[in-house]
Amino acid sequence: MNAMLETPELPAVFDGVKLAAVAAVLYVIVRCLNLKSPTAPPDLYFQDSGLSRFLLKSCPLLTKEYIPPLIWGKSGHIQTALYGKMGRVRSPHPYGHRKFITMSDGATSTFDLFEPLAEHCVGDDVTMVICPGIANHSEKQYIRTFVDYAQKNGYRCAVLNHLGALPNIELTSPRMFTYGCTWEFGAMVNYIKKTYPLTQLVVVGFSLGGNIVCKYLGETQTNQDKVLCCVSVCQGYSALRAQKTFMQWDQCRRFYNFLMADNMKKIILSHRQALFGDHVKKPQSLEDTDLSRLYTATSLMQIDDNVMRKFHGYNSLKEYYEEESCMRYLHRISVPLMLVNAADDPLVHESLLTIPKSLSEKRENVMFVLPLHGGHLGFFEGSVLFPEPLTWMDKLVVEYADAICQWERNKSQCSDTEQVPPLPQ
């Protein structure tokens, strides 16, 4: 009888366990999706100047809240994963022409050229020269989305295809793209300058491409000729500093490192004959044993040490990273420079962000933009669940370029006014 009276209490206990389990799952979801994180305008680091004040007035995105999709957009991991696997939503297919340039060492560099689809806001001929991220090219969805938007805003676009990244283009020399080699990007820029002598340039780099374009501009002053401004998005600034953080499990960086290394291995091995074949005149430091080490590599650092640095004859990984990082060239850039990173980028450790912060405190031409969310090259926007085709990043880069073009137009008009002699009384 007593047992019969006690049985009704069992479901109550069971319901309590279920409730605790549901609460635990909800807690994990809230933590993983970072749902409690606020939305806010990006943090801005700059020196007070005429240029910075003009940019703040002319670029509303710099002072407006960046609002990612409500359910998942505050997770840097999901933003990064969606960029990596999906690229963009409903990505357009801009029409362009592929150009081929034979380099001095026999390598065949390619880039795609897209003509503007509208008149530019200031009526000038302006070309965006774009360097994509690691192992990327003009056919990637995030590049196609950005190019289409830039074309519709009056920009010609030239997009570098990293050497060896396109699956249907064979290597013609025992070399492929590396972390900081600017040769192919420089060849593309020179082609644009010669073919369109009246054009002005807006330099844009994404991730690894940001390192390349900043290093290119800082290598010589002549590389900044005809350049209106430069925009770098989601780069890490110093490979030497980044290598230690990339081996840490914090924010799953070690896992991302493994995934990117696996992709790099596939690309390198797809060009096995061109890079390691018996008929190939390889760099003296590149040996057959390096190929066997490549198969077992689980990090980008191992690949760089065993293969990539040897394409350019560096004696050590430390030397390679020091020489190929843009950090030592940034202070030489005199044109307006906007550096963009996301605070929740799982690939770029927060310690690396001291580099652009410090630079923006010393240089009037530099603005560092740091939104809370966006991940690595994500920056998706949307209301609740589904993202918009165009990202905050796409709009910001074009908005900044438009503002700089207007700034330069205003300066030239003021200069012309000052040179006009007063009329006689």
SS3 sequence of 48-104: CCHHHHHHHHHCHHHCCCCCCCCCCCCCHHHHHHHHHHCCCCCCCCCCCEEEEEECC
Task: Specify if 17 maps to a domain.
Answer: no
Task: Specify if 22 maps to a domain.
Answer: no
Domain boundary among 324, 343, 373: 324
Tell whether 231 and 280 lie within a shared domain: no
Tell me if 253 sits within 8 A of 245, measured CB to CB. Answer: yes
What is the arrangement of strands in the sheet containing 108-114, beginning at the earlier edge strand? 43-45, 366-370, 337-340, 227-233, 200-206, 126-131, 156-161, 108-114, 97-102
pLDDT of residue 382: 87
pLDDT of residue 29: 56
pLDDT of residue 277: 79
Domain boundary among 305, 324, 343: 324
Tell whether 292 and 344 lie within a shared domain: no
Which CATH number fits the domain that encloses residue 126?
3.40.50.1820
Tell whether 189 and 314 lie within a shared domain: no
Task: Specify if 244 maps to a domain.
Answer: no
Low-confidence ranges of the chain (pLDDT < 50): 1, 3, 26-27, 417-420, 423-425
H/E stretch holding 159? strand 156-161
Tell whether 230 and 268 lie within a shared domain: no
Instruction: Measure the CA–CA gap between 265 and 275, rounded to whole angstroms.
Output: 13
Domain boundary among 324, 342, 369: 324
Tell whether 276 and 136 lie within a shared domain: no
Tell whether 45 and 156 lie within a shared domain: yes
Closest CA to 236 of 255, 203, 211: 211
Tell whether 122 and 76 lie within a shared domain: yes
Tell whether 360 and 314 lie within a shared domain: no
Tell whether 160 and 306 lie within a shared domain: no
Cα angle 161, 164, 166; round to 5? 55
How far from the centroid of its chain's Cα atoms is residue 418's Cα?
A: 40
Q: What pTM did the predictor assign?
A: 0.90
Tell whether 262 and 381 lie within a shared domain: no
pLDDT of residue 85: 75
Tell me if 375 sits within 8 A of 83, measured CB to CB. Answer: yes
Tell whether 126 and 155 lie within a shared domain: yes
Task: Output the CA–CA distances (angstroms, integers) from residue 344 to 73, 76, 375, in the order listed.
Answer: 11, 5, 5
Please say whether the dihedral angle defined by the alpha carbons of residues 248, 249, 250 and 256, taken in this order, is positive or negative.
Answer: positive
Task: Specify if 26 maps to a domain.
Answer: no
State which residues form the domain around 303. Answer: 249-324
Task: Specify if 16 maps to a domain.
Answer: no
pLDDT of residue 26: 44
For 201-229, write each residue's pLDDT tens digit: 999 999 999 999 999 999 999 999 999 99
Task: Specify if 4 maps to a domain.
Answer: no
Task: Specify if 278 maps to a domain.
Answer: yes
Task: Specify if 423 maps to a domain.
Answer: no
Which positions are annotated as active-site residues?
Answer: 207, 345, 376
For 87-139, write each residue's pLDDT tens digit: 787 889 999 999 999 999 999 999 999 999 999 999 999 999 999 999 999 99
Residues in the chain: 425
Please say whether the dihedral angle defined by the alpha carbons of residues 308, 314, 318 and 324, taken in this order, is positive or negative.
Answer: negative
Instruction: Measure the CA–CA gap between 333 and 345, rounded to whole angstroms.
Output: 25
Tell whether 259 and 375 lie within a shared domain: no
pLDDT of residue 415: 53
Q: Domain count for the chain, please give it.
A: 2
